[in-house]
Structure 1
Amino acid sequence: MNSIAGPSNSNTEQEDGSLIQLPVKNVSTDLIVPFLIRQKVLPNIDDALSTIIPTTNQPQCFNYNHHPHPLTLVIFSNEVATAVVGEQKNVIDAEGEMMLCDACITPIHKSCPPHMYYSCDKCKFFLHLSCYNLPSGLEHDHGEGLHKLSLGVKGALSWSFCDFCLFFTNGLFYRCEDCSFQIDVKCASMPAVIRHEANRQLKLIIGRYVKEVRDFDCSACGYTFSSYYRYAYASENCDFNLHPACAMLPRIVRHKLDKHPLPLAYPPYSHHSGDIYCEICEEEIHPKRWTYYCRECDQFFHNPCLTQSAIEYTNIKFGHQLVLEKCHRSDHPLTFTLGSLRHTCSLCPKIVYYDIAFECASCYFSCCDTCAGIDVLE
């Protein structure tokens, strides 16, 4: 494993006490704000976000390069609707949908300072205060020297592939025009050295995979590193290694097979006697691998089994509405979502349940991306 500069390069070394420990509770304040400090966008003080709050109390319109409409700064009121998920109060809109930031694709939290966010009055476009101030460009070393990356976005129905975590996103991302390297803003905010609560004593340093004397396995999922998994966070002696996607697994997820929030769990599972099995695939779970676990129902879930529904699409913001006259009536707009109305597409045999779908709740219609004529990966 060759050590290289991390996703967000910094001119200052991190002290042990200031290392970010994953999983973070709030991406916008615990991951992106430190990134903005390292990039010299914010000063290195405790209340750094206070330095970029507009000074007037009057409503203002703010132009943003990556959105066609002006944005308004919204200050939380006591009456704002929220939904409690784990330790956070996530803000929900008038339709009861969770409000997600269109840059980092994580929830807008009422409980986190500075208790405000940017919003578009014409569409469901939201930004954390920190994400609004992401730098338009940065220098990045992804193993081939420093490259200049520019901030961009494709759109709600056009996804970009992150070369660091290997997931798609329809949020903001940084791209190198010379080599086509792309990285989403969450991964770009990751420092070169981290800690993880699965093994708090170790410092994990970013590296790029190089075939050496022996193979390395990810301590979370057990998969072997290869040329496909280009990066890893590894301890000094390489006894504890994590794929970036595994290092960034969310603290809590939800799944249709369990009504409770599912926290990330680590071995040893001393509270559970005997073998443990995944509720989705019903196969035995390796006793040294991470899982998501519901203590109330005593249910375990493989991380890979949760991948598509809860993790693989973690960087995708659903909810965009559009009219597709060629496959459905024009007075019934369809919602871009993870399918929940039908098991298969209304127009073909393709399975859409808990996969990409365009749905009309009023008439129980659901079609796949192929029948809709939309290729989100194009």
Structure 2
Amino acid sequence: MELQHFSDDHPLIFSAVTASGFTCDGCNESIKSSRYSCRKCDFDLHPSCAELPRELQHPIHSKHPLILHKTPPYDGKTCTCSVCNLPCKWFVYNCTHCKFNLDIKCASLRFIPGAETHDHPLTHFRKLISFTCDFCGKEGMGMPYLCGICGFWVHCTCASLPRMLKHIRHKHPLNLTYSLKDNYSKHRLCQVCVKKVDTNYGVYYCSSCDYVAHLDCATDENGIDENFMQESKGEEPTDNTHFTNTPLTLELSRPQFRWYRCHACQFQSNGFIYNCHKCDFVLDVSCSLISELDTLTHIGHEHPLIFSSTTNDEECSACNSKGRIFRCTKCEFTLDFGCAALPHTVKYK
């Protein structure tokens, strides 16, 4: 099936085959199932992005129709969404008369905002203001939603958070919670990034396991369980695992290379490896024995350590190098994969 789309000079070809390693050029999110693509231009779109209406009459800006553009129509200049105040770098709806911009995520918000995050209906505040979101606690500039009953202000993105999701690092679904009860400590540890959580604001929480996660950490695309989300929507699940959860094959080091570098600890070796040829991912035997799902007990530190899923490289307390780390659940101690995988004793000639 072909689609002549305004964003590309060539017809886009629909492929129903499950895709991996592709990024949508309309919304910049990963493509994990079917897609429209132009092989000549290396251009790919989600079906939902490819089928967006070119002209939109939206209640947020009802006086003029909004036109969908591939990039902001300002001669290469950057612009921000008039609702969430985030940069518009990909598909954007625009009103040239009012210089009004609406990214496609905000354009998809429907007429019952806040149904997932608040008990009362929320009204869209159609003025650009500076405010503090009562759900995530972050300051922002944009057009928030307001509850006239209790004075609740919320970002548009927070108003559209799912009420329930599942993270690959936890066995149970996590529920969106406005705040944890008073009998809990005000500051807890996010079990994903292992940093403090202010429980006076919104979190994702599992009451069965007393498991808490930041909103950003729980909804990060690299950790969210897409199969659960698709099943909850009645969609067909796709095979999507991450970190080392794509299957790894034990083999001798790559025949074309004498040495290889482990992607976890960055050490060089020439022995056995666990390898994913599809992702070009290599893991040495020592690092393969460390699971990101488990608590690490290390002889070099008195408290348990948990793998931090934050994408930012952080400094190891043992060697001062920066990389993916395990963080102490009680203090500021960190340990990277290389140091965590070091043997406790060695023999030297």
Could you state the TM-score of these two structures normalised by the residue count of structure 2?
0.49
Larger radius of gyration: 2
Q: Which has the higher contact order (CA 8 A, sep 6+)?
A: 1
- The structure richer in strand per residue is 2
Could you state the TM-score of these two structures normalised by the residue count of structure 1?
0.46
